[in-house]
Structures are given as structure tokens and as C-alpha cells.
């Protein structure tokens, strides 16, 4: 149980284009989803927290107009990287948690974004 999927697993796009990454909870309803970014050989940095039906809460330093997050349903959240640039190349990981705890987050397998 508690499986989270991400699609695509890997994407290469040209500079200036937009890329959408999907995060789905497959066998549970996720009231909260999280988006992380991980640089090579570094830890995960929380980008934003999204609750179903409301606007995402972005961490300091994360541009909300560049990283658009939509949490349209209890099983789906999307991250759109708009006007991507090479510096946006990274490993993006989503996670989901279930309302009421025990606060465990279930992580997706990640999406490797390469902007050329």
C-alpha cells in the first residue's frame, strides 16, 4: 500500500519550453503533497507543499510563477516548470501524506529533468 507514482521518469526539453510532471497516489487519498528538488550528491530541498483544492505554499526562494503546482484531486498533483532553463535541470521528487498522520510521507520514484 501507499504507492506514489511520478510521470515521466525522465524528460529532456529545450530551453524556454515548459514541462509538466505528474505525481499520483495510487492506492490512497493524499490530502497533502510535497515537491522536492534534489541536486547531484545533495539532500532534498522542499520546494512547496500543496493541499487538495487550495493554493500551494512555496518555500522561501522558490519562484511560484516558475514552478506552478496544481493539486486538483486527492490523488493527483502536478508540477509545471515554465520557461525552463538549464539551471532548472535537476531531480524532482514528490511525496504524499495521509490526513491524520502518522505523518509518514510516501515518496515517488522521482523525475530527472534535463534542460538543453
Partner 1 sequence: AQSVAQPEDQVNVAEGNPLTVKCTYSVSGNPYLFWYVQYPNRGLQFLLKYITGDNLVKGSYGFEAEFNKSQTSFHLKKPSALVSDSALYFCAVQTGANNLFFGTGTRLTVIP
Binding residues vs partner 1 (CB under 8 A) = 4, 6, 32, 34, 42-44, 46, 49, 91, 93, 95, 97, 102-110, 112
DSSP labels for 25-45?
Answer: ESSS--SEEEEEEE-TTS-EE
Burial 59-85 (b: 16+ CB within 10 A, else e): eeebeeeebbbebeebbebbbebeebe
Give min distance, CB of 3 to partner 1, in A: 11
Give min distance, CB of 12 to partner 1, in A: 15
Minimum CB distance to partner 1 smaller for 67 or for 106: 106
Cα angle for residues 114, 107, 98 (degrees, 5° grid): 140
Minimum CB distance to partner 1 smaller for 16 or for 99: 99
Minimum CB distance to partner 1 smaller for 16 or for 53: 53
Give min distance, CB of 97 to partner 1, in A: 5
Amino acid at each position: 500500500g501507499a504507492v506514489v507514482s511520478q510521470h515521466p521518469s525522465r524528460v529532456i526539453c529545450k530551453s524556454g519550453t515548459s514541462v509538466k510532471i505528474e505525481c499520483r497516489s495510487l492506492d490512497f487519498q493524499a490530502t497533502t503533497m510535497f515537491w522536492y528538488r534534489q541536486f547531484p550528491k545533495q539532500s532534498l530541498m522542499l520546494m512547496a507543499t500543496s493541499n487538495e483544492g487550495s493554493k500551494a505554499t512555496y518555500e522561501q526562494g522558490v519562484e511560484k510563477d516558475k514552478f506552478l503546482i496544481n493539486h486538483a484531486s486527492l490523488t493527483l498533483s502536478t508540477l509545471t516548470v515554465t520557461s525552463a532553463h538549464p539551471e532548472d535541470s535537476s531531480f524532482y521528487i514528490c511525496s504524499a501524506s495521509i490526513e491524520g498522520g502518522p505523518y509518514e510521507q510516501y515518496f515517488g520514484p522521482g523525475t530527472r529533468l534535463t534542460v538543453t
